[in-house]
Amino acid sequence: MSDEQFSDFCQANSDLRIERNSRGEVIIIPPAFTETGAVNFNLVIEFGIWAKRDGTGKGFDSSTGFVLRNGAVRSPDLSWIRLERWNALTDAERAKFAHICPDFVVELRSRSDNLQKLKEKMQEYLDNGVALGWLIDALERKVYIYRPGAEVEALENPAEIAGDPVLPGFVLDLREIWS
Question: Are the C-beta atoms of 43 and 78 separated by less than 8 Å?
Answer: yes
8-state DSSP, 178? H
CATH number at residue 78: 3.90.1570.10
8-state DSSP, 113? S
Q: Which is it for strands 160-162 and 57-61: parallel, antiparallel or unpaired?
A: unpaired
Cα separation, 41 vs 68, whole angstroms: 25
**What range defines the domain where residue 172 resides?**
32-178
Question: Are the C-beta atoms of 21 and 72 separated by less than 8 Å?
Answer: yes
Nearest partner of 161 among 126, 130, 139, 137, judged by Cα: 137
Q: For residue range 18-43, what is the model confidence (pLDDT) as tens digits?
A: 777 888 788 887 777 788 888 999 99
In a domain, 18, yes or no: no
Note the pLDDT of residue 73: 92
Considering its fold, how many domains does the chain have in total? 1
* Residue 127 predicted with pLDDT over 90: yes
In a domain, 21, yes or no: no
Mean pLDDT of the chain: 92
In a domain, 12, yes or no: no
What is the band of 59 on the pLDDT scale with cuts at 50, 70, 90? very high
* Residue 10 predicted with pLDDT over 80: no
Note the pLDDT of residue 55: 97
In a domain, 57, yes or no: yes
In a domain, 58, yes or no: yes
